[in-house]
Chains A and B, each alone.
Chain A
Amino acid sequence: MTTPLNTSGLDNSGRRIVVDPVTRIEGHMRCEVNVDENNIIRNAVSTGTMWRGLEVILKGRDPRDAWAFVERICGVCTGTHALTSCRAVEDALGIQVPLNAHLIRHMMDKTLQIHDHIVHFYHLHALDWVNPVNALKADPKATSELQQMVSPHHAKSSPGYFKDVQTRLKKFVESGQLGLFANGYWDNPAYKLPAEADLMAVAHYLEALDLQRDIVKIHTIFGGKNPHPNYMVGGVACAINIDGVGASGAPVNMTSLNFVLERIREAQEFTNNVYIPDVLTIAGVYKDWLHGGGLAASNLLSYGTYSKVPYDKSTDMLPAGAIVNGNWDEVLPVDVRDPEQIKEFVDHSWYSYEGEKQGLHPWEGETEPNFELGPNTVGTKTNIKELDESAKYSWIKAPRWRGHAMEVGPLARYIIAYASGTEVVKDQVDRSLSAFNQSTGLDLGLKQFLPSTLGRTLARALECQLCADTMLDDWHQLVGNIKNGDSSTANVEKWDPKSWPKEAMGVGINEAPRGALGHWIKIKDGKIENYQAIVPTTWNGSPRDSEGNIGAFEASLLNTPMERPDEPVEILRTLHSFDPCLACSTHVMSEDGQELTKVKIR
């Protein structure tokens, strides 16, 4: 049965299930679904439940400071907004950064991808598949054998090691203080891993905590700290001094470069020996659970990233493009400056403006908060029991590409890259699918496997591997460039606002861990006149639009059977596969931020 992508295919007559808060995400989110008599989800409503108004705050400020403000949009995908903001300002002012800065920014960006993907999988997503309580039943010796089978090169694989982890877990559980695991759904039949796989995954949950702590130190070298490393318009602030006077006190020197190299190697090792084998092992057990595709089977968007030649988008390692209606044979070009392509709608969002049925391109973005609940809301304004999705119901707006709701993220990047013939991606994907088919005895095609919750989770792991591998290339290129006598890290020609035109506008784009990210800026008299960000979770978590098209979160939940509707394991599993980031998605431009409309209940 195909997934409906429009409200016309939804049925909200069945039992309503409310999940609020949706946990193990960044920010605040609510989800409501209706299940039919067979406990299959037939209607889904996803709601962003926070708004901070960052772009309002940016108005009138120094564009060179913007990166720091928007970096605070999100501390999980930390740095990606800062980078995108620098690009927007540089685009507006016509600044090109030196090659070293380009490479260092790529390395910082890939560090984020690796960190974010690993933390997401192990610390936010794993508990949707892994049952830590069941791990107590595992035989450590059999776990050791499993570990050595799925990953022969991983050092931590002895029976003693797993016995230790299990003992620690046992004491923790028996203490009666279950902490983060309390009230989990541990006897729900939706959990299917054998105890040994559960124990292996628990061990890796802990190992990943160590790895994530170390990989971000690349940010600390180049940006001084993590979370929230420093960025700079015009390049990077970390000057290079390899062998001159004062080199040992310089940001980038021989020891710090060596340090970075070690961290890259650790990330490669972990991804190859732990992360990818774990995802494939879990996928193999959950082989019959291929739900959650939703929009991924039809509409996907990527702005492209990691250009090999600076400022030449045609050299992007992961290419830009859009796929609509499931036609992988045609990857359509995307232009973020074209007012006809990207528009945001607010019919079902808590904003309003004159003639609000019209979508607006982000350069023209105009909104005012308008918290208004529909007539079928159950509850009160400050105690909502059930939302009325026929009216406004989310702090997230609804961006559309040529009128289509789109899915963004690692899976979108990977399908678009695959469809565009990107060799390294095709190789990764084909190998994974064949490993999956081999271990399960199935014979699934790509279009059956990739557009699913599992496919989304796999694409993220493969991208982590790609980033670790290519970060090593960046490192070598950086060292080679320095060797050739180029130590430049900043272009300061237009640092002084006096050198700027009276008015300028620009756009910065990136592929953030969660998908396509764009920042649009207008500068006037040296100050920010208008700032607008459309972030990945705005795309994925968008509410419905005026045509009834539904967003990626909602679409992905449809037709999914639930084992126990009161225990939202399946809902969490699929929502988490997008890695929702609500602080990101829910701050949009207001032309006049102080004028806040009062709530009305009709």
Chain B
Amino acid sequence: MSQIETFYEVMRRQGITRRSFLKYCSLTAAALGLGPTFAPKIANAMETKERTPVIWLHGLECTCCSESFIRSAHPLVKDVVLSMISLDYDDTLMASAGHQAEAILEETIQKYKGKYILAVEGNPPLNEDGMFCIVGGKPFLDQLKHAAKDAAAVIAWGSCASWGCVQAARPNPTQAVPIHKVITDKPIIKVPGCPPIAEVMTGVITYMLTFGRLPELDRQGRPKMFYSQRIHDKCYRRPHFDAGQFVEEWDDEGARKGYCLYKVGCKGPTTYNACSTVRWNEGTSFPIQAGHGCIGCSEDGFWDKGSFYDRLTDINQFGIEQNADEIGMAVAGGVGAAVTAHAAVSAVKRAQHKGDQE
């Protein structure tokens, strides 16, 4: 008999009835947007699957992705690590170091050729023969290529691995590059964000383990289930945008009433992420709810797109800039009319830009 403890066994041991377990599976299916027919598949996977080996490498980064990962509430990270995956190499958390750590990396690659998931946090610098990031006396780039060769799939955690992020911002002194520049023969799932939301990270892993396939990706390689809508589309402050009610200055009346942050630089209208739906830290809040505009941290090159406090100008094409000002003036005259006008314009814009990011 298998000694491996499945996710189902974990739940049962924690006092959860089979009935509740099946309910959990339905809820998971619903949360992933999959419909009730998928619930039995999830149940089956959780009852029988062995733990998939995961190698988690770190390049030039700040470890915020790992920190985010351990914040996951559903599933709990302890269940992920103890019962869903086998995190065989992760230099941030693993017990062994030096030679013993390198040996485990090698052993995992050999033993699970073609079967392990490679998760990459951070990115490789190319300047100085890669020696701006050294692991085991060698360039991180070597380790990355070596581990990628026999991986079943590659996950790019966060904006570093997906786009380059802060070290790749102008003038990119180390020539740090996103991992798809050096891993060219494998599917790469990009999970951008600085960092990505914890439940998005574990959601991607859970999906892959449960369904045994990669999540559906958009053209840029991001899972559609989390990155197909703009933060603006589902923002709870969106009605204020449509009504032309804006924060004009920090801590003004509008800021206290929770008005739209567009005029103080919010990048929600151009940022694809799940912050306004999944929210952060077990759904506690998200940047806009806490009063600061979105800085667009899941978008490619967000560091080099002007100040975080500049009003978006590259969405003039959407007509938003113009409308925000017009509405601002119109509000003085009559809020009702402004709402109607703005809503109509928004509807037109939506129609115009349908499929823009497909």
* Docked CA distance A23–B135 (Å): 11
Q: Is the CB of A239 within 8 A of B132?
A: no
Expressed in whole angstroms, the Cα–Cα distance for A244 and B254 within the complex equals 12
Interface centre among A177, A181, A222, A379 (most CB of B within 10 A): A177
Contact B60 A250 (CB under 8 A): no
A115 CB to closest chain B CB (Å) equals 9
Pick from A22, A216, A379, A593: contact of B173, CB below 8 A: A593
B250 is contacted by which of A24, A52, A180, A234 (Cβ under 8 Å)?
A234
- What string of 1s and 0s marks CB contacts (under 8 Å) between A168-187 and chain B? 10011011110111111100
The complex places the Cα of A23 from the Cα of B105 at a distance, in Å, of 13
For the complex of A and B, the 3 pairs showing the least CB-CB separation, nearest first, are: A75-B64, A224-B287, A246-B257
| Docked-complex contact A492 and B251, CB < 8 angstroms | yes
Q: Which of A56-64, A140-148, A399-407, A464-472 lies at the interface with chain B? A: A56-64
Option from A52, A164, A379, A567 in Cβ contact (under 8 Å) with B100:
A567
Assuming the contacts A72-B194, A371-B128, asked whether A209 and B77 have C-beta atoms less than 8 A apart, the reply is yes
A572 within 8 A of partner (CB):
yes
Contact between chains at B64 and A228 (CB < 8 Å)? yes
Encode B80-109 as 1/0 by CB contact (under 8 A) with A: 011001111011111111111111100000
Please measure, in the bound complex, the distance between the C-alpha atom of A23 and the C-alpha atom of B88, giving whole angstroms.
Answer: 13
Q: Are B173 and A590 in contact (CB under 8 A)?
A: yes
CB B72 to nearest CB in A, in angstroms, measures: 8
A131 to B326 alpha-carbon distance, docked (Å): 66
B101-A228 in contact (CB<8A): no
- In the complex, which residues 224-280 of chain A have their Cβ closer than 8 Å to any Cβ of chain B? 224-230, 232, 234-241, 244-246, 249-251, 256, 259
Q: Is A54 an interface residue (CB 8 A)?
A: yes
B53 on the A face (CB < 8 A): yes
Bound: A211/B218 CA distance, A = 36
Q: Is the CB of B63 within 8 A of A583?
A: yes
A62 and B129 in contact (CB under 8 A), knowing A52-B60, A127-B95?
Answer: no
Query: Which residue of the partner chain, among A30, A75, A238, contacts B291 with CB atoms under 8 Å?
Result: A238
Kindly identify, within residues 222 to 255 of chain B, every residue whose CB is under 8 Å from any CB belonging to chain A: 236-237, 249-251, 255
User: For chains A and B in complex, what number of residue pairs have CB atoms within 8 angstroms?
Assistant: 345
Number of B residues, CB within 8 Å of A: 105
Q: Does A561 contact B (CB under 8 A)?
A: no
Q: Which residues of B contact A56 (CB under 8 A)?
A: 171, 173
Excluding A18-B98, A251-B289, 20 further A-B contacts by CB distance (< 8 Å) are A21-B102, A23-B91, A52-B173, A57-B169, A57-B171, A64-B308, A179-B81, A180-B87, A183-B100, A213-B73, A225-B280, A226-B68, A237-B290, A237-B291, A241-B256, A249-B236, A382-B129, A383-B137, A383-B138, A568-B97
**A75-B131 in contact (CB<8A):** no
A64/B137 in contact, CB under 8 A: no
- Given A72-B64, A179-B86, A50 and B134 contact (CB-CB distance below 8 Å): yes
* Among listed B2-10, B18-26, B34-42, interface-contacting one: B2-10
Q: Which residues of A contact B103 (CB under 8 A)?
A: 183
With contact pairs A23-B91, A180-B81, A487-B256 given, residues A239 and B251 touching in the complex (Cβ less than 8 Å): yes
A440 located at the interface, meaning its Cβ lies under 8 Å from any Cβ of chain B in the complex: no
Whether B67 lies near A76 (C-beta < 8 A) is yes
Complex CA–CA separation, A487 to B13 (angstroms): 49
Which residues of A lie under 8 Å from residue B325 when comparing CB positions? none
Residues of B near A219 (CB, < 8 A) are 281
Residue A74 interfacial (CB < 8 Å): yes
Can you identify 16 A-B contacts, CB atoms within 8 angstroms? A23-B101, A24-B92, A28-B134, A52-B166, A57-B169, A72-B194, A182-B104, A183-B103, A184-B100, A224-B280, A225-B285, A229-B290, A241-B257, A241-B258, A250-B256, A489-B251
Query: In the complex, what distance in Å separates the CA atom of A223 from the CA atom of B99?
Result: 41
Q: Does B288 contact A (CB under 8 A)?
A: yes
Complexed CA–CA distance, A385 and B104 (Å): 19
* Chain B proximity mask over A17-56: 1 for CB below 8 Å, otherwise 0: 0111111111110100000000000000000011111101
Give every chain B residue within 8 A of A369 (Cβ-Cβ): 128, 132, 173
- B78 at the A/B interface (Cβ < 8 Å)? yes
Q: Are A251 and B195 in contact (CB under 8 A)?
A: no
The reply to whether the CB of B295 lies closer than 8 angstroms to some CB of chain A is yes
Q: Are A583 and B62 in contact (CB under 8 A)?
A: yes
Residue A311 CB within 8 A of the other chain: no
